[in-house]
């Protein structure tokens, strides 16, 4: 019987098809896996359902000689050595599309929490300070007629842009190359250079993948080009933002605030962010809805089933 290892608990409903057919083990580590721990846990696995935090390196893949498929429980896959998997004939899949709306919605949740001071308001009421309505209490900002800058007009970026229309915002975007004209029309988004996006945006929202080009894309130089009234939202990948530079930009009032769901050295967070009241922080919740996470589990199970059953077509395949 083939052995399937899941590196941490996921919604059980999606795993039912695998439990019926294979030796399924769901691990429950107290911390993030390192290479040695992952090898010890999955050395005899035929299939591995992995998380973004799992180091699926060439060394790990080489130490799992039976492994036929890695099904990533995420859209991103920068934690997986795709070339090493390809060289060993290991299929790699992911979970595209299904978490688009959940992540786009959460982007707006973070933004609204930041600019309308929702966190401070909640604390104000809970601590017993609310005695009467005040004319200048916890004043935030409107979004209407402001400019939203999207860095990465892909599935999630375009979903965020479409939601901006309901708030009466203008939308500009930056990609390595212009998006499909249909996507531009649906989003009412205008293509600009990265420098122009930084200069004109009141809100900058990151939705690009992490790679050698996007690593520390938001650095000291980038923050210096932003409006002092602008805010940054990141629901993509932590290392796209140089956190030390972000802390400095906030302290120097080069930008007005930040809302972050991901971090450069996740789960560690720069102390300067933890101490700053103009920052909203979340523990990587972009896809955290019951619907999205259940669908992600089902997609991983579908991919594993297809590979282990020898199907001609593998769904959600990267390699």
Residues marked active site are found at 237, 266, 284
Comparing C-alpha atoms, which of 217, 223, 215 is closest to residue 265? 215
Partnered with residue 280 across adjacent β-strands are 259
Report whether 106 contacts 286 (CB < 8 A): yes
Integer Cα distance of 126 and 138 in angstroms:
15
Report whether 4 contacts 47 (CB < 8 A): yes
H or E stretch at 70 = strand 69-72
Nearby residues of 198 by Cβ (< 8 Å), 6 or more positions away: 149, 204, 222, 225, 226
Nearest 5°: phi and psi at 272? -65, -25
Integer Cα distance of 298 and 291 in angstroms:
11
């Amino acid at each position: 019987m083939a052995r399937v290892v899941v590196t941490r608990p996921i919604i059980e409903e999606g795993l039912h098809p695998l439990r019926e057919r294979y030796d399924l083990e769901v691990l429950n580590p107290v911390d993030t896996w390192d290479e040695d721990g992952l090898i010890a846990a999955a050395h005899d696995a035929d299939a591995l359902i992995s998380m973004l935090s799992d180091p699926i390196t060439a060394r790990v893949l080489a130490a799992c000689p039976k492994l036929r498929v890695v099904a990533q429980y995420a859209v991103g896959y920068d934690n997986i050595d795709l070339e090493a998997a390809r060289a060993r004939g290991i299929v790699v899949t992911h979970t595209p599309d299904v978490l688009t709306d959940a992540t786009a919605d959460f982007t707006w949740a973070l933004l609204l929490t930041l600019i309308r001071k929702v966190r401070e308001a909640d604390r104000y009421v809970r601590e017993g300070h609310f005695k009467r309505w005040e004319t200048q209490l916890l004043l935030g900002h409107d979004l209407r007629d402001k400019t939203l800058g999207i860095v990465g007009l892909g599935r999630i970026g375009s979903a965020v842009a479409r939601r901006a229309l309901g708030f009466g915002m203008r939308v500009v975007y930056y990609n390595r190359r212009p998006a499909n004209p249909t996507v531009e029309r649906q989003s009412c988004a205008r293509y600009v250079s990265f420098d122009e996006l930084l200069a004109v945006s009141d809100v900058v929202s990151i939705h690009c993948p992490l790679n050698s080009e996007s690593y520390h894309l938001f650095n000291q130089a980038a923050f210096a080009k932003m409006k002092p009234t602008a805010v940054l939202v990141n629901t993509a990948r932590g290392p796209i933002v140089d956190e030390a530079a972000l802390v400095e930009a906030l302290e120097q009032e080069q930008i007005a605030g930040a809302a972050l769901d991901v971090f450069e050295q996740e789960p560690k967070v720069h102390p300067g962010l933890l101490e700053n009241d103009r920052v909203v922080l979340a523990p990587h919740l972009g896809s955290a809805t019951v619907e999205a996470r259940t669908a992600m589990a089902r997609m991983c199970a579908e991919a594993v089933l297809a590979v282990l059953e020898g199907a001609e077509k593998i769904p959600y395949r990267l390699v």
